[in-house]
Amino acid sequence: MKRRTALMGAVAAAALVPGMVMADERERGSSGHLNVIYWQAVSTMNPFLSGGTKEMNASSIVLEPLARFDNMGELTPWLVDEIPTLDNGGVAEDLMSITWTLTEGLLWSDGTDVTSADVVFTYEYCTHPEGGCAYRDRFAGIESVEAVDDLTIRITFEDATPNPYLPFVGAGSPIIQQAQFAECLGARAPECTDENFYPVGTGPYTVADFRPNDVIQFEANPNYRVPTQPYFQTITWAGGGDATGAARAVFQTGEMDYAWNLQLAPEVIEQMESGGMGTLLVDFGPLMERIELNFTDPSPDLPADERATMQHPHPILSDIRVREALSRAIDRELLTEIGYGPTGRPACNFIVAPPAMVSPNNDDCLVQDMDRANALLDEAGWERGSDGIRVKDGERLELLFQTSTNAVRQDFQSLIQQWWREIGVEARLRNIDAGVFFGSDPGSPDTYIKFWADVQMYASLFEGTDPTPHLEQRRCGREPRPETQWQGQNINRYCNPEYDALWAELNREPDPERRQELVIALNDMFIQDFAHIPLVARGRVSAAANTLGGLSLNVWDSEHWNQAEWYRIED
């Protein structure tokens, strides 16, 4: 935040210097050429077929949604004139439907009109049963999407929906052109290579050349709705290499103007920044690194279809005192400092963003408290054995600790293992290839969903600004189990009827302030049950050259949400 403010300050200061090109003097293409580097290269320009953040970001400057979140997390009209609400009648009183009206005179980059039919088509494209659309959940619970007239779209829901701003909102739900994609429905979607690589959009840029996993060339869209924008005429969107190389290209050699996702060791970033050519941009969204504690017994002695299911509660972790001790023994400040530096913040909550929904009640976790942890374990009846590891009823306090293979995570594992050993808990470490760990193959024993371990560490987040679906995941019955082909996101198999009741209340509540209170209450209930151990809130980290103006990092939407307004600071 601080760094970003500093940059904004620099931009503001630059704007005041006389002789500068003022904002109103700028016109389309006047800033020339922009170089962007994504060290994980973009593989397709159709976000529906990829689901990856990098594809979403790249396509967001071509394809646009009806409304998106600005850098403060506020809903902003984009292809419409106003956001439909209960007050202006856009959202039905019974919360069963929402009606959007497109801005008049919008053009696709090929010069044709944008109509409501395109919006309806987008819905059909993504919900086609054979399409494998990655953002299909955006359209869950929708009964129909219909074109009322050329500019008006009505979305009808199956149930009362207090948050109707999921479909067609944000970078994950852009509008595609019906004329272009009409032949690409369902199973044919991946075969439309030209369409997927060169989509026609409403955004400030069009794709001039696309090389998968390598480099993209963009040109300004001649039919963009703001006649003076975008300020950059062309963009080269390079891919490949690694985070270090990308950071070096912005900070030290100046080969690049903007670099995305620089997850680097704090010392490396500091050193790079001293190159002086760029600024680090950090902002915090809902992404949080955590340790999940298994409430069920993952013992390999159990039959495969009973392992880690609700039939067998965990012999050690079912005791809240053990869970609390494990959490108290962790020094989150140190973890943050070592793993993430300025790009991380110690976390004590389940919901770490947006700021208004973050609970202030759990900050005591910031202090490592070995005495308290030891006392809790003593109280729970775990006595120290001869080797320092605690024993109860002949059983050692030993936990299998798994995570994905990743240098920072292995550092965290080693550190936490050492702290837990100090309180007499033995952690056996295990790391699994990320492709397997985060995979969804129900046949694999090593996915984080199956959770055939006692504790596991990973990072998770939610889309947009509404944590309701994220909180919903921890309800009873949402746990992965054999009957559901191990689908479900209640990873730690948490089950608390009070929590479920409170969530149901949240899901019915339209009033924003009351919703905030409920989110905080749910968060506190979950955290004070020590149902999982938050570790570090991880920021989005990008780097921009000092000569780049107009940008503002956005954690709620694509980082390139206002790409049209980026410009070159002349000196």
Partner 1 sequence: MTDAAPATAAEDVHDLRPPRNQWWDVWDQFKTHKGAMGGMFVFISILLFVFAGPWIWQVDPGLIDIRSRNQGSSWAHPMGTDQLGRDLLARMMYGGRISVAVGLAAMLLGLVLGTLIGVLAGYFKLMDGPLMRVTDLFLALPLLPLLLILVTLFRDPLEGAFGQAAGVFTLIVVAIAITSWMQTARIVRGDVLALKEREFVLAARSIGTPARRINTRHILPNVMSPIMVSATLGIASAIITESALSFLGLGFPPDFPTWGRILYDGRDWIEQYPARVVWPGVLISLTVLSVNFIGDGLRDALDPRIRGR
Partner 2 sequence: MFTYTLRRLAFAVPTVLVISLIVFLMLDMAPGDPTGSLPLTIPLEVREQIRAALGLGDPVLIRYFKWLHMMVIIEPSHMLANATGWNIAVDGPRILSWQTRSPVGDIIVQRIPQTLWVVGLGYVFGILIAVPIGVISAYKQYSWFDQAGTFVSMVGFSVPTFFTGVVFILIFSVWLGWFPSMYDTTHRVRDWDSFLFQVRQIAMPVAVLALFNASQISRFMRASMLDNLNQDYVRTARAKGMMEKTVLLVHVLRNSMIPVVTVIAIGIPTVFTGAIITEQIFRVNGLGDALIRAIYVSDWPMVQTITFIFAILIVLFNLIADVLYGILDPRIRYD
Structure-token pair, residue 461: 């987040």
How far apart are CB 206 and partner 2 at their closest, in Å?
Answer: 17
542 binds partner 1 (CB under 8 A): no
Q: How far apart are CA 398 and CA 114, in angstroms?
A: 61
Q: Element (H or E) spanning 567, and its range?
A: strand 567-568
**Which stretch in 79-87, 432-440, 493-501, 541-549 sits in contact with partner 2 by CB under 8 A?**
432-440
In the complex with partner 1, which residue's Cβ is closer, 133 or 543? 543
- Count CB neighbours of 53 within 10 A: 18
The only residue of 163, 368, 405, 496 in contact with partner 1, by rule CB under 8 A: 405
Binding string, residues 282-301; x marks residues near partner 2 by CB under 8 A = --------------------
Q: Does 414 bind partner 1 (CB under 8 A)?
A: yes
Residue 274 CB-half CA count within 13 A: 5
Q: Give every CB contact of residue 517 below 8 A, 6+ residues apart in sequence.
A: none
Check residue 465 for interaction with partner 2 (CB under 8 A).
no
Instruction: Determine which residue in the list 31, 43, 327, 402 makes contact with partner 2, applying CB under 8 A.
Output: 43
CA proximity to 78, closest of 463, 562, 551: 562
Could you say which of partner 1, partner 2, none residue 74 binds, taking C-beta under 5 to 8 angstroms by partner kind? none
Which is nearest to 316 in space by CA: 402, 384, 377? 377
213 is a site residue for partner 2 (CB under 8 A):
yes
Burial 132-157 (b: 16+ CB within 10 A, else e): ebbbeebbeebeebebeeebebbbeb
44 binds partner 2 (CB under 8 A): yes
Among positions 456-475, residues that touch partner 1 (CB under 8 A) are: none
Closer of 245 and 488 to partner 1 (Cβ): 245
Q: Are 277 and 258 in contact (CB under 8 A)?
A: no
Asked if 434 interacts with partner 2 (CB under 8 A), we say yes
Q: Least Å distance between CB 394 and partner 2? A: 36
Cβ proximity to partner 1, 134 vs 262, nearer residue: 262
Q: How far is CA 431 from CA 412, 440, 488, in A?
A: 12, 17, 22
113 CB contacts (<8 Å, ≥6 apart)? 106, 107
375: left (phi over 0), alpha (psi -120 to 50) or beta: alpha
Cβ closest to partner 2, residue 113 vs residue 472: 472
Regarding 163 and contact with partner 1 (CB under 8 A), the answer is: no
Task: For residue 214, state whether it binds partner 2 (rule: CB under 8 A).
Answer: yes
444 binds partner 2 (CB under 8 A): yes
Q: Does residue 338 belong to the site contacting partner 1 (CB under 8 A)?
A: yes
Residues 128-147 that bind partner 2 (CB under 8 A): 129-137
Residue 56 or 553 with smaller CB distance to partner 2:
56
- Tell whether residue 435 is a contact of partner 1 (CB under 8 A): yes
# chain residues binding partner 2, by CB under 8 A: 67
> Looking only at residues 473 through 532 of this chain, which bind partner 2 when binding is defined by CB under 8 A?
480, 485-489
Check binding of 302 to partner 1 (CB under 8 A): no
Nearest distance in Å: CB 101, partner 2: 29
Choosing among partner 1, partner 2, none, which partner's interface includes residue 134 (Cβ < 5 to 8 Å by kind)? Answer: partner 2
Question: Smaller CB distance to partner 2: residue 169 or 425?
Answer: 169
Measured in residues, the chain has a length of: 571
Nearest to 185 by CA among 173, 176, 174, 172: 176
Is 223 one of the binding residues for partner 1 (CB under 8 A)? no
Contact 395, 314 (CB under 8 A): no
DSSP collapsed to 3 states, 307-375: CCCCCCECCCCCCHHHHHHHHHCCCHHHHHHHHCHHHEEECCCCCCCCHHHCCCCCHHHHCCCHHHHHH
Least separation in angstroms between residue 479's CB and partner 2 is 12
162 binds, among partner 2, partner 1, none (CB under 5 to 8 A by kind): none
> Using the rule CB under 8 A, which residue among 15, 182, 334, 366 binds partner 1?
334
Q: How far apart, in whole angstroms, are the C-alpha atoms of residue 361 and residue 560?
A: 35
d(CA 67, CA 76): 6
Task: Give 394-448 as a DSSP string.
Answer: TEE-EEEEEEES-HHHHHHHHHHHHHHHHTT-EEEEEEE-HHHHT---TT-TT-T
State whether residue 169 is helix, strand or coil.
strand
Which of these ranges, 79-87, 187-195, 495-503, 556-564, lies near partner 2 under the rule CB under 8 A? 187-195
Longest dimension (CA), the chain: 80
User: Using H for helix, E for strand and C for coil, what is the string for 174-211?
Assistant: CCCCHHHHHHHCHHHHHHCHHHHHCCCCCCCEEEEEEE
Please select the residue that binds partner 2; options are 11, 29, 30, 51, rule is CB under 8 A: 51
State which residue, 219 or 446, has the beta carbon closest to partner 2. Answer: 446
Tokens 């400030």 belong to residue: 204
Check binding of 304 to partner 2 (CB under 8 A).
no
338 binds, options partner 1, partner 2, none, Cβ within 5 to 8 A by partner type: partner 1
Cβ atoms of 199 and 180 within 8 Å: the answer is yes
Decide whether 391 or 434 has the Cβ nearer to partner 1. Answer: 434
Shorter beta-carbon distance to partner 1: residue 192 or 338:
338
Sites for partner 1 among residues 239-298 (CB under 8 A) = 243-244, 264-265, 267-268, 271
Chain residues binding partner 2 by CB under 8 A are 41, 43-44, 46, 49-53, 129-137, 187, 189-191, 193, 196-197, 209, 211-215, 217, 236, 238-242, 245, 248-249, 253, 255, 433-441, 444, 446, 449, 458-463, 480, 485-489
